[in-house]
A = this chain, B = another copy of it.
Amino acid sequence: MQPSGKILVAQGGGPTAVINQSLVGVVLEARRFREVRQVYGAHHGVRGIVNEDFVDLTQETSHNLELVAGTPASALGSTRDKPDLKYCQEIFKVLQAHEIGHFFYIGGNDSSDTVRIVSEEAKKAGYPLRSIHIPKTIDNDLVGNDHTPGFPSAARFVAQAFAGANLDNAALPGVYVAVVMGRHAGFLTAASALGKKFPDDGPHLIYLPERTFELPRFLADVKTMYERYGRCVIAVSEGIHDASGQAIAAQLAKDLEHDAHGNVQLSGTGALADLLCEEIKEKLGIKRVRGDTFGYLQRSFIGCVSDVDQREAREVGEKAVQYAMWGDRDGSVAIKRTGYYSADYELVPLETVAGKTRTMDDAFISDSGTDVTDAFRLYLRPLLGSGMPDAYRLRPNPVPKVLKR
Measured in the bound complex, the distance between the Cα atoms of B169 and A78 in whole Å is 10
Partner of A165, one of B60, B292, B300: B300
Measured in the bound complex, the distance between the Cα atoms of B71 and A160 in whole Å is 12
A93 x B167 contact (CB < 8 A): no
Measured in the bound complex, the distance between the Cα atoms of B56 and A290 in whole Å is 32
B172 x A79 contact (CB < 8 A): yes
Partner of A67, one of B274, B392, B398: B392
If the complex has contacts A15-B168, A260-B278, A269-B270, are A98 and B402 also in contact, measured as CB distance less than 8 A?
yes
Q: Is A229 an interface residue (CB 8 A)?
A: no
Q: Is A243 an interface residue (CB 8 A)?
A: no
Partner of A268, one of B171, B290, B304, B388: B290
Q: Is A397 an interface residue (CB 8 A)?
A: yes
- Report B-chain residues with C-beta under 8 Å of the C-beta of A303: 160, 164, 304, 388-389
If the complex has contacts A171-B78, A295-B292, are A274 and B267 also in contact, measured as CB distance less than 8 A?
no
A301 x B270 contact (CB < 8 A): no
A398 x B176 contact (CB < 8 A): no
CB-based nearest B residue for A259: B258
Most chain B beta carbons < 10 A, residue from A70, A164, A271: A164
A163 x B302 contact (CB < 8 A): yes
- Binary contact readout A290-302 vs B (1 if CB under 8 angstroms, 0 otherwise): 1111111101111
Q: A-side interface residues toward B, CB under 8 Å? A: 11, 14-15, 40-41, 51-52, 54-57, 59-60, 64, 67-68, 70-80, 93-94, 97-98, 160-161, 163-165, 167-168, 170-172, 176, 195, 253, 256-261, 267-271, 273-275, 277-278, 289-297, 299-304, 388-399, 401-405
If the complex has contacts A59-B397, A304-B304, A393-B68, are A299 and B167 also in contact, measured as CB distance less than 8 A?
no
Q: Nearest-CB distance from A405 to chain B (Å)?
A: 7
Measured in the bound complex, the distance between the Cα atoms of B78 and A62 in whole Å is 50
Measured in the bound complex, the distance between the Cα atoms of B167 and A52 in whole Å is 23
B260 x A164 contact (CB < 8 A): no
If the complex has contacts A260-B278, A269-B270, A395-B64, are A161 and B55 also in contact, measured as CB distance less than 8 A?
no
If the complex has contacts A55-B397, A170-B77, A392-B67, are A274 and B260 also in contact, measured as CB distance less than 8 A?
yes
Measured in the bound complex, the distance between the Cα atoms of B302 and A392 in whole Å is 12
CB-based nearest B residue for A156: B303
- Report B-chain residues with C-beta under 8 Å of the C-beta of A54: 398-399
If the complex has contacts A168-B15, A274-B269, are A404 and B52 also in contact, measured as CB distance less than 8 A?
yes
- Report B-chain residues with C-beta under 8 Å of the C-beta of A278: 260
Measured in the bound complex, the distance between the Cα atoms of B169 and A300 in whole Å is 9
- Report B-chain residues with C-beta under 8 Å of the C-beta of A274: 260-261, 269-271
Q: Which 8 A-B pairs have the closest CB atoms?
A: A270-B270, A268-B290, A73-B167, A292-B295, A258-B260, A54-B399, A164-B300, A67-B392
CB-based nearest B residue for A79: B172
CB-based nearest B residue for A290: B268
If the complex has contacts A268-B277, A269-B291, are A300 and B57 also in contact, measured as CB distance less than 8 A?
no
